[in-house]
Chain A
Amino acid sequence: KQEVTQIPAALSVPEGENLVLNCSFTDSAIYNLQWFRQDPGKGLTSLLLIQSSQREQTSGRLNASLDKSSGRSTLYIAASQPGDSATYLCAVGGFYNTDKLIFGTGTRLQVFP
């Protein structure tokens, strides 16, 4: 059974810092991996999607890497801003592109001015 773990559970940093969020999964047979952002009381917003054949994806100040063989992914946020404060969720997709997502418990990020 696939299990997804995110470390740390919570993180508080001053504005401007570069930071790394970690995600690990137990079964390397994944189709893809996604990072989502969730604001309080809101739904999920997809940030980056990495196919199993890819090593990384970048969008603006965000960079996500994937090491499928070791069951790890990292989300790197450069020059953090208070507006980045949210919960970040990692999710792995199963065996095909429309398969269900298995989520981690998230990292709650606070960026203070």
Chain B
Amino acid sequence: GAGVSQTPSNKVTEKGKYVELRCDPISGHTALYWYRQSLGQGPEFLIYFQGTGAADDSGLPNDRFFAVRPEGSVSTLKIQRTERGDSAVYLCASSSTGEDTQYFGPGTRLTVL
């Protein structure tokens, strides 16, 4: 079946602009995660959804970052007033109830000029 998909694959924006990154999890997966990976680093956790609600948003760096999952499937990560330090690869993962493995998408590479 289809894996986790993320759009766009690349996004270039200017400092101060607003961006939205989309994640389509594997069908039927109730858990969805967002991570951010800077160059040469491992992924860092941002937020975790169980169904429609954010079960853990402790990794969001500040209030410019927000994520939603209104129908319990597709999720959107929203970044306001982007800064150059936001440049990174944003990874989405999903998992199903009772399964521990997280399945990752290919990521969205965000570049803030």
Residues of A within 8 A of B (CB): 4, 31-32, 34, 36, 41-46, 49, 51, 89, 91, 93, 97-106
Contacts and interface: CB of A to CB of B under 8 A. Distances in A.
Contacts, number: 63
A67 B56 CA distance: 28
Contact of B101 (A34, A42, A102, A103): A34
A46 B101 contact: yes
Interface of B: 4, 31, 33, 35, 40-45, 48, 50, 55-56, 59, 91, 93, 95, 98-107
Contacts of B95: 98
Contacts of B98: 97
Contacts of B33: 100-101
A44 B101 contact: no
Given A43-B91, A43-B107, A46-B102, A102 B45 contact: yes
B31 to A, nearest CB: 5
B106 A42 contact: yes
A51 B56 CA distance: 22
- 8 tightest A-B contacts by CB? A103-B42, A44-B104, A100-B45, A43-B104, A43-B106, A97-B100, A98-B31, A105-B42
Contacts of B50: 98
Contacts of A102: 45
Given A43-B4, A105-B40, A32 B48 contact: no
A100 B59 contact: yes
